Amino acid sequence: MRHFLRHPSDMPVELVPRRQAFLPRQRLNNISLGGVACNSSKGFRRGTAVELRIPLLGEQARYPGVVAWCRKQADDYLVGVAFIDEDTLFRARMVEQVCQIEHYRHQRELELGEAVSVEAVAREWIALHAAEFSSASLA
């Protein structure tokens, strides 16, 4: 199984089945691009075509993908969504970076007890995590 970027749980996502209900197993085995792992209240069958939506980021934050794997957890499911074209992968990775920085900003504000500028925290996050982030979903 490839390494999938873990989406921050404090930025909820929606996984919505798409019309193309299922990707044939032989095509699923050929997926070489990375993806995102996120929590879902619903389990999905491997190969199910889905749209990953991030409501907090608006209507444009929608990314078609396919369920690469799904694991039952204590209270929900952890779902690996693979992106099957480079454009979608690039757009989703950029949005994931925004989500990771926003999650980090929230953590820093809790630690410091005061508001932190997005620009400052973005520079800090990039210095700490950009290298590992850039290769994580392509591994």
Q: What is the CATH number of the domain that holds 102?
A: 2.40.10
- Whether residue 94 contacts residue 5, with contact meaning beta carbons closer than 8 Å, is answered with no
Query: pLDDT tens, 53-78?
Result: 988 888 888 889 999 899 999 999 99
pLDDT tens for the chain, 139 residues long, are: 446 777 777 778 889 988 765 555 544 444 455 788 899 999 999 989 999 998 888 888 888 999 989 999 999 999 999 887 777 777 777 787 888 888 888 999 999 999 988 888 888 888 888 776 655 443 3
27's tokens: 């095509």
What's the rounded Cα separation, in Å, for the pair 76 and 55? Answer: 19
Domain containing residue 75: 5-136
The reply to whether the predicted model has a pTM over 0.85 is no
Predicted local distance difference test score (pLDDT) of residue 125 = 85
Number of domains composing the chain: 1
Q: Is the distance from CB of 45 to CB of 21 less than 8 angstroms?
A: no
